[in-house]
Structure 1
Amino acid sequence: MTRALADVLAANIHQYIVHTPIAPGTRLPERALAEQFQVSRSPVREALKRLAAQAVVAAHPDGGYAVAEAVMPAAAAASEPETGDANEQTYLAIAEDRLAGDLPERVTENELMRRYGVTRAQLNAILRRMAQEGWIERRPGHGWMFQPVLTSAETYRQGYRYRLLIESAGILEPTFQLDRAALLRCRAEQEVLANGGVRTASPAVLFDANSRLHETIAACSGNAFIVDGLRRLDRLRRLMEYRKAVDRDQAERRCREHLTLIDLLLTDQREAAADFLKLHLHNAVREKTSD
């Protein structure tokens, strides 16, 4: 189970509690929530643990969890920033400023702390995430250096054309071997998004879930160059994806297309899956470059 799946499911359960509404003290059976969101009980259990840490739910005397006595009302929940916390907002602000050319190639932690009004601990957490994602690295001795990313509409389109060349071809490679367990994990993640999670997920959560699926399929190809090429491209295009306004209807449709693609692969319809993936990518680039 991925961290992103638990994050999205926790947000969905929170919205479900405040919008239904469910009275404080009401028990939340794992089985019922699993059926509600069409996932297994394991991610429900993890999501409830996260909500307990946020005081949205509390331990029930008979086991499991119940709605906490003071859950944020629906109006307040709806007014929360989509990103969910201050670190996410700062992370996205840095991404936007970097794409806009408002940040130099080399920066220091003190400069970033002053510019974004964060503590050193907050900034360190954000910088670790950025470094793990491959768009910044620590300079020897002092400061940080941003790595190259896609910054223009044309290079963004070129990235999709490159994906059209390699991703569907990877499915037809003679070395292709399905990683069923990994693909089923991706399927559970996409189901949560398609069943409402896409409405509240941050751009980063959406990008991570969707790129994880495409990279999982590329890894099944058995061709190291295909999966390495896609991973490199994903690092380059990450910030461009964050910058684009999220059309929730389009995003939900793409998640449902992902489910179709996964099911074609799980039933060993590789040629049909390759053709469907081409159509999926054509649709995505048309929607994302139409503005």
Structure 2
Amino acid sequence: MPPTPLTRQVAARIVDYIRSEQVATGTRLVERTLADQLRVSRSPVRNALRLLADSGAVAEADRGGYTVVSTDHLDLTEDAEDDVDDTVYLTIAGDRLDGELPDKITESALVRRYSLTPAQLNRVLRRASSEGWIERLPGYGWEFRPTLTSQQSYADSYRFRLTIEPAAILEPTFVLDRAAIEHVREQQQKLADGWIHELDNITLFNINHVFHETIAECSRNEFFIEALRRVDHLRRLVEYRRSLPRESGVIRCREHVEIADLLLADRRTEAAERMRGHLSTVTAEKIGP
């Protein structure tokens, strides 16, 4: 999947920041500090850093986070091989969901099964690893991480969200990140105005989960935030293959806009109720009552 416009925009702003502030090679980039500096939520910063890592501008630090490597000759334009990578990526994801791949697998096995070049395999594994459904084993090979594969686990994930997301809005530590909420509201309005018909399921999922995670991050409660991120990782592959009809999606995006407007108007109780109603409707549409 090509990076979303938001990811590319934030990545470009991070590069501008590194260059304008003359941030030295080896300097650790702190996600929260960048989010504050750029006045966006942490989720798009996280995705942008992953993109910059793929581009070689930053590298993963030993104890988490990223460090500056080089922004010389960095090109954030679309990769001509994105479409090929998308096809392979979704094929591997689908095979994993269908139980056709073992829990542990080698790179050579993946190369043979999907006729990949080393460069293609590297990009696909980087992407799957960054999205949390595969991880490198110590020394040799890869292991698929748990994902939602049954109808029951998928239904349970929505019921869990129905509990925690409205509660996160009502947390006493909730502090509105106005710039971030305005940004995700703008994206949702654009979707409702017709952009949704131009996007694939992956891009749509990423935009929508950023909306929900941005709101949860305002709670300042790490348990809510991490719980929602964990659920989003687990349900990601299922969502890639299962999406609401675009006509219904337009309605849900309008509901997102309404929730954002309530938050921006400091009407949190109403926003929490609207979030509960929104998730209840989506749950019924995707998994039944």
Q: Same fold (TM over 0.5)?
A: yes
Find the aligned partners of 1:255 and 1:194 in 2 and give their Cα distance.
Answer: 6
Amino acid corresponding to residue 214 of structure 1 in structure 2: H
Q: How does 1:135-284 map to 2 (within 5 A)?
A: 135-284=133-282
Amino acid corresponding to residue 5 of structure 2 in structure 1: L
Question: Residue 269 of structure 2: SS of its match in structure 1?
Answer: helix
Deviations 1:172-215, CA, capped at 9 Å, x for gaps: 11111001111122122222322222112121111111111111
Q: Any conservation in 1 of the 2:149–2:238 contact (CA below 8 Å)? A: yes
Q: Any conservation in 1 of the 2:213–2:229 contact (CA below 8 Å)? A: yes
Q: Any conservation in 2 of the 1:215–1:227 contact (CA below 8 Å)? A: yes
Contiguous gaps of at least 5 residues in structure 1 = 10-48, 55-83
Pick one of 84, 87, 90 that aligns with 1:86.
Answer: 84
Q: TM-score, normalised by structure 1?
A: 0.71
Deviations 1:259-281, CA, capped at 9 Å, x for gaps: 11111111111111000000000
The residue aligned with 2:109 is 111
Question: Residue 85 of structure 1: SS of its match in structure 2?
Answer: helix
Deviations 1:136-159, CA, capped at 9 Å, x for gaps: 001111111000011111111111
CA RMSD in angstroms, aligned pairs only: 2.4
Amino acid corresponding to residue 4 of structure 1 in structure 2: T
The residue aligned with 2:4 is 4
Percent identity, aligned pairs only, is 48
The residue aligned with 1:27 is none
Q: Any conservation in 1 of the 2:168–2:216 contact (CA below 8 Å)? A: yes
Amino acid corresponding to residue 209 of structure 1 in structure 2: I
Q: Any conservation in 1 of the 2:244–2:286 contact (CA below 8 Å)? A: no
Find the aligned partners of 1:246 and 1:280 in 2 and give their Cα distance.
Answer: 14
Question: Residue 173 of structure 2: SS of its match in structure 1?
Answer: coil
Q: Which has the larger radius of gyration?
A: 1
Find the aligned partners of 2:252 and 2:285 in 1 and give their Cα distance.
Answer: 10
Find the aligned partners of 1:270 and 1:246 in 2 and give their Cα distance.
Answer: 27
Amino acid corresponding to residue 277 of structure 1 in structure 2: M
Aligned-residue offset at 1:122: 1.2
Aligned-residue offset at 1:290: 3.7
Aligned-residue offset at 1:235: 0.7
- Relative to structure 1, the CA distance from residue 5 to residue 251 in structure 2 (aligned partners, 3 Å threshold; closer, same or farther) is farther
Deviations 1:241-262, CA, capped at 9 Å, x for gaps: 1121552112222111111111
- Relative to structure 1, the CA distance from residue 116 to residue 195 in structure 2 (aligned partners, 3 Å threshold; closer, same or farther) is farther
Question: Residue 210 of structure 1: SS of its match in structure 2?
Answer: helix
Q: Any conservation in 1 of the 2:244–2:285 contact (CA below 8 Å)? A: no
- Relative to structure 1, the CA distance from residue 263 to residue 155 in structure 2 (aligned partners, 3 Å threshold; closer, same or farther) is same
Q: TM-score, normalised by structure 2?
A: 0.71
The residue aligned with 1:287 is 285
- Relative to structure 1, the CA distance from residue 177 to residue 6 in structure 2 (aligned partners, 3 Å threshold; closer, same or farther) is closer
Find the aligned partners of 1:162 and 1:254 in 2 and give their Cα distance.
Answer: 19
The residue aligned with 1:18 is none
Deviations 1:76-102, CA, capped at 9 Å, x for gaps: xxxxxxxx7111111111111101000
Question: Residue 135 of structure 2: SS of its match in structure 1?
Answer: strand
Find the aligned partners of 1:284 and 1:254 in 2 and give their Cα distance.
Answer: 8
Question: Residue 148 of structure 2: SS of its match in structure 1?
Answer: coil
Structure having greater relative contact order (Cα 8 Å, sep ≥ 6): 1
Pairs aligned (count): 221
The residue aligned with 1:46 is none
Find the aligned partners of 1:173 and 1:91 in 2 and give their Cα distance.
Answer: 38
Amino acid corresponding to residue 114 of structure 2 in structure 1: Y
Amino acid corresponding to residue 87 of structure 2 in structure 1: Q
Aligned-residue offset at 1:5: 3.3
Find the aligned partners of 1:202 and 1:185 in 2 and give their Cα distance.
Answer: 21
